[in-house]
């Protein structure tokens, strides 16, 4: 196994008995739903061997100030402790899934593990929805994995802060792509954050555009779509944002799958940007 971006349900099913495999269930429902709903779904049925991670509890540090956004990055040591609980060590092949498209919050887990330098981690293409549609096995018992060992730090060169975003957009040295739905980007609605609109100069690529019939579009199709946005820029000159730094990871996953390597996440994203009312806000199309 050498899965580093996406893996099909069929390939995962064929490798369930591999001792080097670790599976992670990241199902979560945002926007006012039961914050424990994803974990309840995991208890009711999950891919055999899957442990559970919670977006708020395990993949974020909600104690940080608003300038870090609605889902601030966890501290690396705390995230490593989560990995150890899941039985994950640096040599493991990890597969993470959520309900369907990977946006909430499988791609976030994938990105955080990549920040530690972990190479073999992939998102399940189609998620639990496709797994069950294929009639593949589902378990209800929680299997305790042997405790893993993980001691690593985040590569801080792979994400950017608000000041760097503002400077890069002002100088024209980078392109910022916003993963939110078009109506939120344009400022027509805003169900979650204190202001509607987008960061001036940002371009819009809703993460849902990466999908077709419940699965990621092909690598060449994704490469052409992102190429139309970034033009002649190298992927390393691309910054990715969303509402809180979660669905931006979906665009990063799509770019990596397409062979466009080196884009960086704006971790605070829109919620971090508008935490300071003095920062400029744009509305309308990009």
Same domain, 232 and 267: yes
Same domain, 195 and 94: no
In a domain? residue 278: no
Same domain, 28 and 90: yes
Same domain, 87 and 42: yes
In a domain? residue 144: no
In a domain? residue 283: no
Same domain, 235 and 266: yes
What is the band of 141 on the pLDDT scale with cuts at 50, 70, 90? confident
Same domain, 123 and 164: no
What is the band of 35 on the pLDDT scale with cuts at 50, 70, 90? confident
Nearest to 83 by CA among 152, 20, 135: 152
**30 pLDDT higher than 80:** no
In a domain? residue 182: yes
In a domain? residue 81: yes
At 38, which helix (H) or strand (E)? helix 37-44
Q: What is the pLDDT of residues 183-236, one digit of tens each?
A: 999 999 998 899 999 999 999 999 999 999 999 999 999 999 999 999 999 999
Same domain, 62 and 116: yes
Same domain, 120 and 168: no
Same domain, 45 and 122: yes
Sheet of 121-124, strands arranged across: 6-7, 121-124, 93-97, 21-25, 51-52
| Cα–Cα distance, 10 to 245 (Å, whole number) | 30
In a domain? residue 147: no
Q: What pLDDT is recorded for position 246?
A: 96
Same domain, 84 and 29: yes
Number of domains in the chain: 2
Q: What pLDDT is recorded for position 56?
A: 93
What is the band of 142 on the pLDDT scale with cuts at 50, 70, 90? confident
Which pTM was predicted? Answer: 0.95
Same domain, 51 and 121: yes
Catalytic-role residue among 9, 80, 175, 242: 242
What is the band of 32 on the pLDDT scale with cuts at 50, 70, 90? low
Nearest to 260 by CA among 202, 198, 199, 175: 175
Same domain, 182 and 265: yes
**Residue 240 contacts residue 251 (beta carbons within 8 Å):** yes
In a domain? residue 124: yes
Residue 22 sits in a domain whose CATH number is: 3.40.250.10
Domain stops at, among 99, 133, 167: 133
In a domain? residue 143: no
Q: What pLDDT is recorded for position 33?
A: 63
| Cα–Cα distance, 214 to 205 (Å, whole number) | 17
**144 pLDDT higher than 90:** no
Q: What pLDDT is recorded for position 161?
A: 95
Domain stops at, among 133, 165, 197: 133
**Which residues constitute the domain of residue 206?**
156-273
Average pLDDT, the chain: 94
- The two beta strands, 264-266 and 159-160, are parallel
What is the band of 85 on the pLDDT scale with cuts at 50, 70, 90? very high
Tell me, yes or no, if 249 is annotated catalytic. no
């Amino acid at each position: 196994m050498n899965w580093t971006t996406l893996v099909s349900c069929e390939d995962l099913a064929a490798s369930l008995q591999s001792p080097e495999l670790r599976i992670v269930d990241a199902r979560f429902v945002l926007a006012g739903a039961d914050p424990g709903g994803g974990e309840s779904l995991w208890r009711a049925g999950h891919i055999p061997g899957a442990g559970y991670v919670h977006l708020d509890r395990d993949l974020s540090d909600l104690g940080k100030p608003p300038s870090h956004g609605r889902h601030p990055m966890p501290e690396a040591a705390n995230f490593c402790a989560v990995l150890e609980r899941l039985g994950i060590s640096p040599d493991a092949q990890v597969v993470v899934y959520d309900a369907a498209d990977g946006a909430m919050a499988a791609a976030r887990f994938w990105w955080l593990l990549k920040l530690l330098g972990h190479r073999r981690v992939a998102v399940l293409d189609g998620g639990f929805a496709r797994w069950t549609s294929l009639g593949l096995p589902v378990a209800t018992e929680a299997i305790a994995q042997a405790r893993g060992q993980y001691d690593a730090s985040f590569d801080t060169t792979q994400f950017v802060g608000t000041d760097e975003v503002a400077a890069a957009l002002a100088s024209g040295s980078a392109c910022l792509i916003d993963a939110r739905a078009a109506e939120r980007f344009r400022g027509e609605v805003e169900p979650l954050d204190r202001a509607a609109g987008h960061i001036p100069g940002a371009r819009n690529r809703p993460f849902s555009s990466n999908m077709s019939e419940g699965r990621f579009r092909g690598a060449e199709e994704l490469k052409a779509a992102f190429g139309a946005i970034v033009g002649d820029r190298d992927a390393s000159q691309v910054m990715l944002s969303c509402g809180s730094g979660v669905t931006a990871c979906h665009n990063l996953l799509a770019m990596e799958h397409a062979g466009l390597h080196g884009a960086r996440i704006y971790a605070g994203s829109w919620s971090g940007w508008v935490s300071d009312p003095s920062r400029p806000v744009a509305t309308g199309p990009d």
